[in-house]
């Protein structure tokens, strides 16, 4: 579908219109054009800029604080689930289709408020960006960070990813390490002449089995850490004592530790063994003690929850902004064929977001 968008209609209808604009990652141009055109026509109070297939808009009201809304325009590949479909009516209405959850309902809420609330209590920056669902190097928000950094300056970032309309904050870090044991090859008929590297890994597996992961509370969010063996390999042949065994371990760590501290912890756990870090992504502190974040929590009324996966919230956290996920839809339905969002969540999210922006 092409055509123009009406940002002033009920965000439920706006969600349906956005969903019917296919915008698989890399193919967002049509939707970005429509969003840019609609903002230009229906939100003339906003400064408007285009960056690739991202559309950026902001107020200049001279408010004491600035809130950034970030939402990606792209979706995962369509899976026989467009155009959108409806079931139920009234309070029971549900919208089905690619992007209903991840995350055109969140975009619809923000676009609607951008057009209908010209004088919010905070200055607002809206970032509708491309290529979130593919490799990080193409992420539109990363490009904006490099090319238009002042558009990401602010005091609080709200990423409209699905969160069942609950504030989700921070995220855990993740680190993969390889533990290696060494032995000496020998014929299994003369095993005493060798040393078995797989048997040597037994001690590492025992430490993993007995490991007690931490549960860490920060700003009212509970982070449950994890330390799990995820792959093991070793062995040469059916009659050879193996001389090497490799074990891959994934550690999910609470954001009170940085990657260096997490690494030091793992070296302690596997003391006496060879440990190599294969990859690592830092976590993000929830930052909910910041005044504006407290205001958001008060406006939305719910208890915040810890974010379990890694999202662009971490990108803002790395820039030093408190950042949360807040949007309609069940995150566990994201990327599934049966993606669907209850219309009631879109309405509730709009009401709570608007209450916050009215101050
Ligand atoms: Zn998403």
Full-model pTM: 0.82
Q: Please check whether residue 348 is in contact with residue 302, taking contact to mean a CB–CB distance below 8 angstroms.
A: no
C-alpha angle with apex 168: 166 to 171, nearest 5 degrees?
165
Three-state DSSP state, 234:
strand
Phi, psi angle pair for 319, to nearest 5°:
-85, 0
H or E stretch including 33?
Answer: helix 29-42
Q: Please check whether residue 47 is in contact with residue 125, taking contact to mean a CB–CB distance below 8 angstroms.
A: no
The active-site residue, picked from 132, 219, 225, 312, is 132
274 is catalytic: no
Separation of CA 16 and ligand 1 centre (Å): 17
pLDDT digits (tens, 9 = 90+) for 65-98: 999 999 999 999 999 999 999 999 999 999 999 9
H or E stretch including 298?
Answer: helix 291-300
Residue with tokens 């141009």: 29
Domains of the chain plus CATH, in order, are 11-171+284-357 (3.40.630.10), 173-281 (3.30.70.360)
pLDDT at 353: 97
In which residue ranges of the chain is pLDDT below 70?
1-2, 309-310
Half-sphere exposure of residue 101, counting CA atoms within 13 Å on the CB side?
Answer: 21
Query: What's the length of the chain?
Result: 359
pLDDT at 211: 98
Separation of CA 315 and ligand 1 centre (Å): 14
Whole-angstrom distance, CA of residue 282 vs CA of residue 177: 14
- Beta-bridge partner residues of 47: 58
Separation of CA 146 and ligand 1 centre (Å): 21
pLDDT at 2: 57
The active-site residue, picked from 28, 74, 133, 161, is 74
Query: What is the CB neighbour count within 10 angstroms for residue 2?
Result: 9
Separation of CA 213 and ligand 1 centre (Å): 29
Separation of CA 11 and ligand 1 centre (Å): 18
Separation of CA 145 and ligand 1 centre (Å): 18
H or E stretch including 341?
Answer: strand 340-342
74 is catalytic: yes
């Amino acid at each position: 579908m092409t055509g123009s968008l009406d940002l002033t209609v009920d965000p439920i209808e706006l969600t349906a219109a956005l969903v019917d604009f296919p915008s698989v990652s890399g193919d967002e141009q049509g939707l970005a054009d429509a969003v840019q055109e609609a903002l230009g026509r229906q939100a003339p109070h906003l400064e408007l800029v285009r960056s690739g297939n991202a559309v950026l808009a902001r107020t200049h009201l001279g408010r004491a604080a600035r809130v950034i809304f970030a939402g990606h325009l792209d979706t995962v590949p369509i899976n026989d689930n467009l155009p959108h479909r409806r079931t139920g009516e009234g309070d029971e209405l549900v919208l089905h289709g690619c992007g209903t959850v991840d995350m055109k309902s969140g975009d619809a809420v923000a676009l609607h408020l951008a057009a209908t609330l010209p004088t919010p209590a905070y200055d607002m920056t809206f970032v509708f960006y491309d290529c979130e669902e593919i490799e990080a190097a193409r992420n539109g928000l990363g490009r904006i960070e490099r090319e238009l950094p002042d558009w990401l300056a602010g005091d609080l970032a709200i990423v409209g990813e699905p969160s069942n309309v609950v504030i989700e904050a921070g995220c855990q870090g993740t680190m993969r390490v390889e533990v290696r044991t060494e032995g000496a090859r020998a014929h299994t008929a003369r095993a005493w002449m060798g040393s078995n590297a797989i048997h040597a890994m037994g001690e590492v597996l025992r430490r993993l089995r007995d490991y007690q992961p931490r549960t860490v509370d920060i700003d009212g969010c509970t982070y449950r850490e994890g330390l799990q063996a995820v792959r093991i390999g070793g062995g040469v042949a059916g009659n050879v004592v193996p001389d090497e065994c490799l074990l891959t371990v994934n550690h999910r760590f609470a954001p009170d530790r940085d990657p260096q501290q997490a690494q030091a912890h793992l070296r302690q756990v596997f003391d006496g063994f060879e440990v190599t870090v294969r990859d690592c992504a830092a976590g993000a502190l929830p930052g909910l003690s910041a005044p504006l974040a407290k205001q958001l929590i008060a406006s939305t009324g719910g208890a915040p929850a810890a974010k379990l996966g890694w999202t662009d919230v971490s990108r803002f956290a790395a820039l030093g902004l408190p950042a949360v996920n807040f949007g309609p839809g069940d995150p566990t339905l994201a990327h599934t064929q049966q993606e669907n969002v209850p219309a009631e969540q879109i309405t509730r999210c709009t009401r709570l977001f608007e209450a916050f922006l009215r101050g």
